[in-house]
Structure 1
Amino acid sequence: MTVEKQAPASESIMVVGGGISGLTTALEAAEVGYEVFLVEKNPYLGGRVAQLNQYFPKLCPPTCGLEINFRRIKDNPKIKVFTMADVEKVSGSPGNYEATIKLNPRYVNSNCTCCGECAKACQMEIANDFNFGMDRIKGAYLPHEMSFPARYVISSRIIGTEDAKRCKEACKYDAVDLDMEAKTVNLNVGSVVWATGWEPYDAHRIDNLGFGRHQNIITNMMMERLAAPNGPTQGKIIRPSDDKAPESVVFVQCAGSRDENHLPYCSYICCMASLKQATYIRAQYPDAKIYIFYIDLRAPGQRYEKFYNMIKQDENVFFIKGKVAEVSEDPDTKNITVVAENAVTGEKIHQTADMVVLATGMQPTAANAKLPADLKYNDDGFIINDYENGGMFASGCANKPADVVSSNQNATGMALKAIQTLVKR
């Protein structure tokens, strides 16, 4: 007796999240012939990788990996990209899902040439979220220099103001559309891959480490933006209080990670991020002293172990095994003193530095806002993949803490799982 295989109601795949995992998932599926809808909440693709100065394994700038992916997406008619889009609901079963997508207004249409005249005309400034609020941008802005799609955004905060009118009048290409409204799109897809990524843990919640109270305490992602050529200081690492070149920097590992009051798990890549950022400082300030306070150092894999060993050879980098208990600020110099107990010698250490960098943990986006679908989560907010039932899968850091290489490998696997869902039905 032969059994006929039932065709899925839809042979399309929806990928939610346009970071490195979402891009890889979408491209892997589309390049073997499947229709893919790529849904991203931001006005640009690239996710957290776009905010880095360099990333492992080759310490490349984001342009190195993202640029080719953007070209592949642009050239592939199988991929439909929705930016500034929120998934409001996903219902159905494997092979036949109904997804409701809300498209938020950009107030700039496809006529945009990125000439920048709207930004020149705009007078109001808003906090720059891409740089974690370390600088300000105009209310008409390009999110960053390699934004894809390459199109300006008019902030909703200036809609209805004279600034908005000035933006429209300045545009020679009729690209500014102040009458844009939110609209809803319904998609029928056979499988869904959630590549919703991660957020830096909110360092304000770690009371004893002083973030928000002391200006010269920053997070590791803020350091990435300081070191980036397109960052708030054009790549110059200077301390926030007075723009001074730092002569000493303390890195505080596991800031919020491996802590039952915050994130109980290890965020996998924070140790390597701090070692990488030590090279940023060293490149600009060869004589600066760098102090790394850690519980345990994690260098996952031979390549990372080699990198760690290289950093250990630097006579101006000091590793202290001890958990930082408190910080204080000198009101005159704005220098920061961290206090920790050396776990090896037992002595109490007071180390003063010009700047402190908190290696804040990696928290899944879904931990703060559950996704509008029937998904299972572990206690930390990471999505649990149900391979037996199939249909919906989590890719990259939506599933577990990971670096870029691991996220890409995982994303390729999730693309295959999504395809298998369509083939099996």
Structure 2
Amino acid sequence: MSAEPRIGVYVCHCGTNIAGFVDVTKVVEYAKALPYVVVARDYRYMCSDPGQRLIKEDIKTYSLNRIVIAACSPRLHEPTFRKVAEEAGLNPYLVEMANIREQDSWVHMDNPSEATEKAKDLVRMAVARAALLEPLEKVVVPVKKAALVIGGGIAGISAALDLAEAGYPVYLVEEKPSIGGHMAQLDKTFPTMDCSACILTPKMVEVSRHPNIKLKTYSEVVGVEGTVGSFKVKVLMKPRFVIEDKCTACGECAQACPVEVPNEFDMGLSWRKAIYIPFPQAVPNAYVLDLENCLGITPEACLKCKEVCEADAIDYDMQPKIEEIEVGTIIVATGYDTYNPVIDPEYGYGRYPNVLTSLEVERLLNAAGPTGGKLVRPSDGRPPKRIVYVQCVGSRNKNRNPYCSRVCCMYAVKQARQIKEKYPDAQVTIFYIDLRAFGKGYEEFYEAAQREYGVSFVRGRVSKIVEDPETHNLVVRAEDTLLGTPVEVEADMVVLSVGIAPSEGTRKIADILGLSKSPDGFLMEAHAKLRPVDTMIDGVFLCGTAQGPKDIPDSVA
């Protein structure tokens, strides 16, 4: 631009977010004296319609050819003010923003005078930069009309199906041998007590059959380059040592395999072979060879699975390979891990056989679980008559995770109800800090557990669990915070309601994509209210519990 800069400066109060700590009047007066500044004003909410009209009118009245907005982060409202400039006939790229909220007022609340001086400096720098701005024109670039969904739990499955149904090609990458995530381990879902597998399995099958979805299990994203509309993604495909298209899932290989190791899907409560299908409804429904536990294929030391495979699906020569794909957008649905209570010695988990986590009990209650749905004590295989639940294990604890995991209260109530349905004479006691029944129908579900099923609720944090080494019975020590008295409850089994923690996959993908994380370790959204599923990287979105603790409805919403 050859014309001399004519700059307008607009200082936003942002209610009291800025004006409560920065003297905006002084900043405006300071701005009026800066080079090339023709007009300077302040307004309570510059992003509001009246604030926007004020800017438009000044652009026309004072023939402004550049504007400076001193307000919040440009990541929040820069598009708003660029549109204002464009509507007033000014090139939208002749707008400069000075962040005097996140970078000033919010970090200098304890020193308003310093905040005001810093605001002046930020405005001065923005004005100097604005004087050098040149008009730019938008360029239309081709966009790759395909999406990558990272994570094959219920959130990733739902996202992939929604996109595929809209006509977009989708790559669904899952690090485990099967999609399904944690929901595949559940027996029932609260508050409707629907069969979890009955909801999930049809969606898993639909993913495998949908013409717009390319499913890549046992694979990991290891590199991403590019930008929105044109991401180049490297996917590491780990060798299954079983050819999926040939495998008939007959099970002969597993029967022949001499190796047994704890079954991760059943939380170590059952055994699987070195060659296995993760669970009966797995997708893809093909076996995978666990090389770490195999007797050895280099040099070949067993060969029993290959010898009995009539489909000739075993391939010991499979190697890891990298596949590069191009997509226009990425959805991160890397799920969660459950909190490991081993680090809390007061609960005795890992030392006392009858202290279990809630996910372990979930597998015991599942008809497809290691005991066929029977709740039994690991120590002697007998059904427990007295069961105690300990809430907020790994959650709402400043020494562990300070946040609420949101699902623990309701899944404890759900499991308590299941136990009472199977064993009406069982005594179920739940020690809680606060019962958080936040969802639709949750409060009624909780009340029904008390009224109709006779589940006992005691408000108090458990301090210690001790065991009788001969009987393996347990004593739970706690304080009843309503009565202000210590209590002891004898139990045959104690269930630790473990919280939700960021998954290892979430940590990895945050590093690969350069995503911001909140202090709790979950992935951070661009703005909690205005962009709740966007990340700070254009074209990358969040889904499910990669963002934080959520129940199933919120994960798929």
**AA at the equivalent of 1:153:** V
Aligned to 1:239: 377
**Structure 2 residue aligned with 1:352, among 490, 493, 511?**
490
Deviation larger for 88-97 or 38-47: 88-97
The answer to whether the 8 Å contact 2:152/2:180 transfers is yes
Deviation at 1:163, TM superposition (A): 6.7
Aligned to 2:4: none
TM-score (norm 1): 0.93
TM-score (norm 2): 0.71
Give ranges in structure 2 of 5+ residues lacking alignment. 1-88, 90-136, 527-533
SS of corresponding position for 2:399: coil
Mapping for residues 218-367 of structure 1, pairs under 5 Å = 218-314=356-452, 316-366=454-504
Deviation at 1:293, TM superposition (A): 0.2
What is the distance in 1 between the residues matched to 2:440 and 2:275?
A: 46
**Are residue 33 (structure 1) and residue 167 (structure 2) matched?**
yes
* Identity over aligned pairs, percent: 39
Deviation larger for 379-388 or 184-193: 379-388
**Structure 2 residue aligned with 1:394, among 542, 546, 550?**
542
Residue 214 to residue 100, structure 1, CA distance change in 2 (3 Å): same
**Are residue 104 (structure 1) and residue 238 (structure 2) matched?**
yes
**AA at the equivalent of 2:278:** P
Deviation larger for 59-68 or 38-47: 59-68
**Are residue 408 (structure 1) and residue 543 (structure 2) matched?**
no
Q: Which has the larger radius of gyration?
A: 2
Q: Deviations over 1:68-112 (max 9, x none)?
A: 212322332110000000111222211121211111111111201
What is the distance in 1 between the residues matched to 2:193 and 2:411?
A: 11
The answer to whether the 8 Å contact 2:227/2:538 transfers is no
What is the distance in 1 between the residues matched to 2:469 and 2:148?
A: 53
Q: Deviations over 1:174-194 (max 9, x none)?
A: 111111111111111111111
Aligned to 2:216: 82
**AA at the equivalent of 1:149:** P
Residue 40 to residue 164, structure 1, CA distance change in 2 (3 Å): farther
What is the distance in 2 between the residues matched to 1:366 and 1:139?
A: 23
**Are residue 146 (structure 1) and residue 294 (structure 2) matched?**
no
Deviation at 1:368, TM superposition (A): 7.4
**Structure 2 residue aligned with 1:24, among 124, 140, 158?**
158
Aligned to 1:414: none
**AA at the equivalent of 1:361:** G
Residue 24 to residue 283, structure 1, CA distance change in 2 (3 Å): same
Matched positions, count: 409
Q: Deviations over 1:229-264 (max 9, x none)?
A: 111111111011001111010000001100011111
**AA at the equivalent of 1:53:** D
What is the distance in 1 between the residues matched to 2:220 and 2:385?
A: 44
What is the distance in 2 between the residues matched to 1:400 and 1:20?
A: 15
SS of corresponding position for 1:375: coil
Q: Deviations over 1:358-381 (max 9, x none)?
A: 000001215873322110110111
Deviation larger for 300-309 or 360-369: 360-369
- The structure, 1 or 2, with the larger RCO (C-alpha pairs under 8 Å, 6+ apart) is 1
SS of corresponding position for 1:148: coil
The answer to whether the 8 Å contact 1:288/1:316 transfers is no
What is the distance in 2 between the residues matched to 1:367 and 1:115?
A: 31
Residue 113 to residue 356, structure 1, CA distance change in 2 (3 Å): same
What is the distance in 2 between the residues matched to 1:194 and 1:368?
A: 8
SS of corresponding position for 1:214: coil
**Structure 1 residue aligned with 2:525, among 367, 385, 388?**
385
Q: Report the aligned-residue RMSD.
A: 1.8
What is the distance in 1 between the residues matched to 2:387 and 2:140?
A: 62
